Amino acid sequence: MPAQPSSEPTTLIRGGTVVNAEGFVRADVLVRGERVIGIGVDHDWDADTVIDATDKYVMPGGIDVHTHLEYPIDGFTTRTADDFATGSVAAAFGGTTMFIDFVKKRPDASLYETFVDRRKVAEEKSIVDFSLHAIVPPLAQQADVHEDLERLYEEQGVTSWKFFMAYPGTQMVEDNELLAGMDLAKRLGALPMVHAENGHMINRASSQLLESGKTAEIHHVDAHGHSSEAEAVHRAIVLAEEVGTPLYVVHVSSEQAAVEIARARSEGIEVWGETCPQYLLTALEDYEGLGDRAAGYICSPPIRERANQAGLWKYLAADGLSTLATDHAAFCMEQPDDLPPQKLRSPGYFPKTPNGVPGLEDRLKVVWEAGVVEGRMDICRFVELVATRPAKLFGLYPRKGTVSVGADADIVVWDPNSDHTITAAESHSRTDYNLYEGMHVTGLPVTVLSRGKVLIHDRQLQEAATTTRGQYHCRENAQLY
Ligand SMILES: [Zn+2]
């Protein structure tokens, strides 16, 4: 197909290997305006811009369906360090061209009002496309929240809603509320998501630890046992099956929890599990000797023993776990003047340590290294985990998550021969530390396009990144196959 005359700029990505979840092929990719309009080798395409992708992979941009940018936590007493500007720049540098963040109802506003405000802030700042999941508060915080969920679904394409099974008294919903929310999700076709940890078990364990003087950072992991995660995952699956709705389990950290999901999937139950790089690549052994600074590793569910990693990799390879997201909730170790209290706000007292770790910029690099380079998965499975399956489950496919004619030109040119040592100093997140500090990786995103605009080239931020803004995406219902 020759390029049609048009005033829209064209870009030809030449000489690379196009990798999709279904397979890979040596082909050139022609972009006009915001979309891919041609993929092939036998052509006479000309373009305004030519990008040489010889010996490189041409892949769909990464989609991170679990981020927390400028996100309020702990009763709105603090927030994550990255805003939508710094977070989206970090995403682009890491080859991620779309993220889905969350809306948590403000105490002084409805869920719907909070959503509208947050969407606007992100539209003003993000350099890549984005969408938002709704967090469903307990009914005690907003009795008519189901009306807002339905309105958000209809008006804003919010087709995924997250329920917390942890944090009693603030965010946790009881089983009756979870069931009612799932009923509504089933009626509309929305996808319920769960943070699956048993909040009562965690509170009980925390109280016992604190009573016996075990207040240090390292005891956070003891409060969040494998069984509290596995129990909640099991229960969520049973409830979803009872209702007859698909289910998405965010940030699976424990092999015991992954077993529950894999077993259900083998029985034909539509449950999908997400895990995160920090659970695959870092371990309790990395932070148990760090004292207060173990705070940098604290997230929930926690980063567990190294022996737990192999099980997660096993289920990831065999599709017991189906997506890789970051749960990027970056905080600083040193306190900046312009941010509320960060990681070290309560040294020696784990219940007040802000939960969350960074990873948005590193996700593709570290999973490529440990997954593809080390032989745990092939390049197609990599693309499926970081882009295609997330796009399908969150109603973005085939507009995103694939390099195909008609799709958005969200494209990463990946150089499997470039190498790099990860450091916080060279990263673009506002956080000042990195879980993968010193990790040597081979394989990097060298050029990144967002809807046809080159944001990153030769690993440098381009002019387009300063003048364009990402779009909010209304989403379709999940595609479950
Ligand atoms: Zn999260």
pLDDT digits (tens, 9 = 90+) for 393-410: 999 999 999 999 999 999
Which is more confidently placed, 253 or 3? 253
Sheet (strand 57-60) strand order: 23-26, 17-20, 57-60, 411-421, 440-450, 453-457, 460-461
Q: If you measure from the C-alpha of residue 296 to the centroid of ligand 1, how many angstroms do you get, rounded to a whole number? A: 16
Residue 38 C-alpha to ligand 1 middle, in angstroms? 37
Q: Quote the ligand 1 centre to 251 CA distance (angstroms).
A: 7
Residues 135 and 167: their CA atoms lie apart, in Å, by 13
Is the model's pLDDT at 81 over the cut of 90? Answer: yes
Residue 174: its pLDDT value, please? 97
Q: What's the CA-to-centroid distance between 44 and ligand 1, angstroms?
A: 47
pLDDT for 5: 58
Residue whose C-alpha is closest to residue 24's, from 51, 63, 56, 47:
56
Mean pLDDT to the nearest integer, 14-24: 98
Q: Quick one: pLDDT band at residue 12, thresholds 50, 70, 90?
A: very high
Q: Say how many Å lie between the CA of residue 328 and the centre of ligand 1.
A: 7
What whole-number distance in Å separates Cα of residue 217 and Cα of residue 354?
A: 11
DSSP bridge partners of 195: 164
State the distance from the centre of ligand 1 to the C-alpha of 27, rounded, in angstroms: 37
Ligand 1 mean position to 269 CA, how many Å? 24
Does the pLDDT value for residue 6 go beyond 80? no
- Report the separation in Å between the CA atom of 34 and the middle of ligand 1, taken as the mean of its atom positions: 30
- Does 74 have pLDDT greater than 90? no
Token readout for 364 is: 């593709």
* Separation of CA 90 and ligand 1 centre (Å): 18
**What's the CA-to-centroid distance between 66 and ligand 1, angstroms?**
6
What the block records as the tokens of 115 is 């959503």
Q: Tell me how far the alpha carbon of residue 183 lies from the centroid of ligand 1, in angstroms.
A: 23
In sequence order, which residues have a C-beta less than 8 Å from that of residue 107 and are 6 or more positions away?
76, 141
**What is the rounded CA–CA span in Å between residue 294 and residue 344?**
10
Domains of the chain: 62-380 (3.20.20.140)
- Cα 26 to ligand 1 centroid, rounded to whole Å: 37
Confidence class of residue 7 from pLDDT cuts 50, 70 and 90? Answer: confident
Q: pLDDT for 437-455, tens place per residue? A: 999 999 999 999 999 999 9
Q: How far is the CA of 65 from the centre of ligand 1 (A)?
A: 10
Q: Is-contact 251 162, C-beta < 8 A?
A: no
CA of 375 relative to ligand 1 center, distance in Å? 29
Distance between Cα 277 and ligand 1 center (Å): 13
Cα of 292 from ligand 1 centre, angstroms: 23
Task: Tell me the average pLDDT of the chain.
Answer: 97
- Expressed in angstroms and rounded, the spacing between residue 13 Cα and the centre of ligand 1 is 35
State the pLDDT at residue 314: 96
Give the Å distance between the CA of 8 and the centre of ligand 1.
39
Give residue-wise pLDDT tens across range 233-247.
999 999 999 999 999
Residue type, 456: I
Span from the CA of 301 to the centroid of ligand 1 (angstroms): 9
Distance 447 CA to ligand 1 centre (A): 28
Residue 74 neighbours by CB distance under 10 Å: 17
Centre of ligand 1 to C-alpha 150, Å, is: 23
Cα distance between residue 92 and residue 428, in whole Å: 10
| 3-state SS track over the chain | CCCCCCCCCEEEEECCEEEECCEEEECEEEEECCEEEEEECCCCCCCCEEEECCCCEEEECEEECCECCCCEECCCCEECCCCHHHHHHHHHHCCEEEEEEEECCCCCCCHHHHHHHHHHHHHHHCCCEEEEEEECCCCCCCCCHHHHHHHHHHHHCCCEEEEECCCCCCCECCHHHHHHHHHHHHHHCCEEEEECCCHHHHHHHHHHHHHCCCCCHHHHHHHCCHHHHHHHHHHHHHHHHHHCCCEEECCCCCHHHHHHHHHHHHCCCCEEEEECHHHHHCCHHHHCCCHHHHHHHCCCCCCCCHHHHHHHHHHHHCCCCCEECCCECCCCCCCCCCCCCCCCCCCCCHHHCCCCECCCCCHHHHHHHHHHHCCCCCHHHHHHHHHHHHHHHCCCCCCCCCCCCCCECCEEEEEEEEEEECCCCCCCCCCCCCCCCCCEEEEEEEEEEECCEEEEECCEECCHHHHCCCCECCCCCCCCC
pLDDT at residue 225 greater than cutoff 80: yes
Q: What is the mean pLDDT of residues 314-325?
A: 95
461 Rama class: left (phi>0) / alpha (psi -120 to 50) / beta: beta
pLDDT-derived band at 82 (thresholds 50, 70, 90) equals very high
Q: What's the confidence (pLDDT) of residue 468? A: 82
3 has pLDDT over 80 = no
Q: Separation of 68 CA from ligand 1 center, angstroms?
A: 6
- All residues at 6 or more sequence positions from 295 whose CB lies less than 8 Å from its CB, including other chains: 217, 333, 343, 344, 347, 353, 354
* CA 308 to ligand 1 center in whole angstroms: 20
Position 76 scores a pLDDT of 87
Place of tokens 């981020």: 67
Distance 475 CA to ligand 1 centre (A): 20
Whether 2 has a pLDDT exceeding 80, the answer reads no
Q: Report how far ligand 1's centroid is from the alpha carbon of 142 (Å).
A: 21
| Residue 67 Cα to ligand 1 middle (Å) | 6
Please give the average per-residue pLDDT across 153-168, as a whole number.
Answer: 98
Report how far ligand 1's centroid is from the alpha carbon of 355 (Å).
9
**d(C-alpha 466, C-alpha 395), whole Å:** 28
CA 336 to centroid of ligand 1, rounded, Å = 23
The pLDDT of residue 4:
55
pTM: 0.97
Question: Cα(244) to centroid of ligand 1, in Å?
Answer: 25
- pLDDT of residue 42 exceeding 60, the answer is yes
Q: How far is the CA of 77 from the centre of ligand 1 (A)?
A: 17
**How many angstroms separate the alpha carbon of residue 161 from the centre of ligand 1?**
13
pLDDT (mean) for 339-345: 95
